[in-house]
Chains A and B, each alone.
Chain A
Amino acid sequence: MSSTSDARFFFTYLFRELQRRRRQALLTALGLAAGAGLVLTVTAASAGVQDAQATVLHSLYGVGTDVTVTQAPPPSNPGSLPTAGGQSSSKFVFSPGKSPQHVDQLGETDGLGALPASSVAAIARLPGVKDVAGGITALDTKLTIPALSQLGQNGAPPGGLPQGTTCTVDGVDLAHLGLGPFGSAALSAGRSFRDADANANVAVIDSGYATAGKLTVGSTVTIAHIAFTVVGVVDQPQGAGAADVYLPLARAQALAATPHVPSSVGKVDVIYVVAASGAAVPMVRQEIARLLPGATVTTASSLASDVTGSLASAASLISDLGRWLAGAVLVAAFVIAGLLSAAAVTRRVREIGTLKAFGWRTRRIVAQIMGESAVIGIIGAALGTAVGFAGAALIQALAPGLAATVSSNPGSAPAENVSLNATGEHTSIAQGAQHTVPVHLSAPVSAETIGLAVLLALLGAVIAGSFGAWRAARLRPAQAMASVA
Chain B
Amino acid sequence: MYTLTDISKTYRKGQHRVTALDGLNLSIAAGEWLAIQGRTGSGKTTLLQLLGALDHPSSGVINFDGRDLARLTEADLVDVRASSIGFVFQTFNLIPTLSARENVEVALIPQGLSAAQRRTRVAEALASVGLADRASHLPAELSGGQQQRVGIARALVKAPSVLLADEPTGNLDVDTRDEIMALLEALWRDRGLTLVLVTHDTAIARRAQRVATMDDGHLSVAPGERPQPGHATGGRSQPGQQ
Chain A interfacial positions (CB closer than 8 Å to B)? 1-2, 4-6, 8-9, 12-13, 16-17, 19-20, 350-351, 353-361, 364, 476-478, 480-481, 483-485
Return 20 A-B CB contacts under 8 Å, by A number: A2-B114, A8-B115, A9-B102, A12-B98, A12-B102, A350-B91, A351-B95, A354-B89, A356-B54, A358-B87, A358-B110, A359-B83, A360-B110, A364-B110, A476-B55, A478-B49, A478-B55, A480-B93, A484-B45, A484-B167
Query: Across the two chains, which residue of chain A brings its CB closest to B115?
Result: A5
Q: Residue B121 at the A interface, CB < 8 A?
A: no
Are A359 and B110 in contact (CB-based, < 8 A)?
Answer: yes
CA distance A364 to B112 in the complex (A): 13
A2/B49 in contact, CB under 8 A: no
Chain A nearest CB from B144 CB (Å) reads 16
The answer, among A12, A350, A359, A483, for a CB contact under 8 Å with B81, is A359
7 smallest CB-CB distances across A and B, nearest first, come from A359-B82, A5-B115, A16-B97, A359-B110, A354-B93, A478-B54, A477-B54
Given A13-B97, A20-B97; A358-B154 close (CB under 8 Å): yes
Known contacts A13-B102, A477-B55; 15 further A-B pairs (Cβ under 8 A): A5-B114, A9-B109, A16-B97, A354-B87, A355-B106, A356-B78, A358-B81, A358-B109, A358-B110, A360-B110, A364-B110, A476-B55, A477-B54, A484-B89, A485-B46
Report the bound CA distance from A115 to B95 in whole Å. 81
Q: How far is the CA of A145 from the CA of B81 in the complex (A)?
A: 108
Query: What chain A residues lie within 8 Å of B41 (beta carbons)?
Result: 485
User: B197 on the interface (CB 8 Å rule)?
Assistant: no
- The contact of B45 among A5, A357, A361, A481, by CB within 8 Å, is A481
Residues from chain B with a CB closer than 8 A to the CB of A356 are 54, 78, 81
0/1 string, B84-99, CB within 8 A of A gives 1: 0001011101011110
Q: Within the complex, what minimum Cβ distance (angstroms) separates B13 from chain A?
A: 11
Q: Which residues of A have CB within 8 Å of B79?
A: 359
**Is the pair A484, B166 in contact by a Cβ cutoff of 8 Å?**
yes
Are A13 and B98 in contact (CB-based, < 8 A)? yes
B42 CB, nearest partner CB in chain A, Å: 10
Does B32 lie at the interface of the complex (its beta carbon under 8 Å from any beta carbon of A)?
no
> Are A480 and B54 touching (Cβ within 8 A)?
yes
The answer to whether B107 has its CB under 8 Å from any CB of chain A is: yes
Asked if B89 contacts A480 (CB within 8 A), the reply is yes
- Interface residue range, chain B: 35 or more
Nearest CB in chain B: distance from A91 CB, A: 85
In the assembled complex, which residues on chain A have CB atoms less than 8 Å from the CB atom of B98? 12-13, 16
Contacts of A484 in B (CB 8 A): 45, 89-91, 166-167, 170
List residues of chain B with CB within 8 A of the CB of A476: 54-55
| CB proximity of B128 to chain A, nearest CB, Å | 18
- Complex Cα distance, B109 from A1, in Å, reads 12
A316–B106 Cα gap in the complex (Å)? 57
CB distance from B183 to the nearest CB of A (A): 20
Residue of B nearest to A21 (CB): B97
Q: Which of A12, A16, A359 has the most CB of B within 10 A?
A: A359
Nearest-neighbor residue (CB-CB) of A350 within chain B? B93
Q: Chain A residues near B105: list those with CB within 8 A.
A: 9
- Interface residues as binary, B104-124 with A (CB distance below 8 Å gives 1, 0 otherwise): 011101101111001000000
Chain B residues within an 8 Å CB radius of A354: 87, 89, 93, 95, 106
- A481→B81 contact, CB < 8 A: no
Chain B positions 125-149 with a Cβ under 8 Å from a chain A Cβ: none
Cα distance A481–B79 in the bound complex, in angstroms: 19
- Nearest Cβ distance between residue B186 and chain A, in whole angstroms? 23
- The answer to whether B96 touches A20, judged by C-beta atoms less than 8 angstroms apart, is yes
With both beta carbons as reference points, the residue of chain B lying nearest to A357 in the complex is identified as B87
Contact between A364 and B54 (Cβ–Cβ < 8 Å)?
no
* A residues less than 8 Å from B58 (CB atoms): none
Q: Which residues of A contact B55 (CB under 8 A)?
A: 476-478
- B90: chain A residues within 8 A (beta carbon): 484
Known: A483-B91, A484-B45, A485-B41. A2 touches B115 (CB 8 A): yes
Once the chains are docked, how many angstroms separate the CA of A78 from the CA of B113?
97
Q: Is the CB of A19 within 8 A of B114?
A: no
Which chain B residues border A364 with CB–CB below 8 Å? 109-110
Residues in A whose Cβ lies below 8 Å from that of B167: 484
Closest to B93 in A: A354
In the complex formed, the residue of A with least CB distance to B55 is A478
Task: Assess whether A481 is in contact with B115, with CB atoms less than 8 Å apart.
Answer: no
Q: How far is the CB of A220 from chain B (nearest CB, A)?
A: 88
Contacts of B107 in A (CB 8 A): 358-359
Q: How far, in whole Å, are A361 and B77 apart by their CA atoms in the complex?
A: 10
List chain B residues, Cβ under 8 A from A480. 54, 87, 89, 93
B202 within 8 A of A: no
Cα(A485)–Cα(B102), bound, Å? 28
A481 touching B97, Cβ below 8 Å: no
Asked if A357 meets B52 with Cβ closer than 8 Å, knowing A16-B98, A351-B93, the reply is: yes
Nearest B residue to A359 via CB reads B82
Collect the chain A residues with CB atoms within 8 Å of residue B83's CB: 359
Which residues on B sit within 8 Å (CB–CB) of A6? 109
A476-B55, A485-B45 known; A359 and B114 CB under 8 Å? Answer: no
